[in-house]
Homo-oligomer: A and B are copies of this chain.
């Protein structure tokens, strides 16, 4: 079995968890959209539509949305909805 890993991605993975609420959309457009695309890969996760990923968000320590997770560091941005309301 050969192990080839070309074009290693040097970008930091960022996850933006939201629930489609107005507070979430504002944070997505303004904060998540302002991140440097040369340094960050931003994945946007709508927890209302991807309920199977609520547990993943919980593992990172996300308590409410919108929230931005860099590696394992969580930043809650304003307050749209509690994670518990999305289960």
Contacts and interface: CB of A to CB of B under 8 A. Distances in A.
**Oligomer: number of copies:** 2
A14 B31 CA distance: 10
A68 B30 CA distance: 10
Contacts of A26: 73
A31 B75 contact: yes
25 contacts: A12-B34, A14-B34, A26-B73, A27-B75, A30-B70, A30-B73, A30-B75, A31-B31, A31-B68, A31-B70, A31-B75, A34-B35, A34-B36, A34-B39, A34-B40, A34-B70, A36-B36, A36-B37, A36-B38, A74-B78, A75-B77, A75-B78, A76-B77, A76-B78, A77-B77
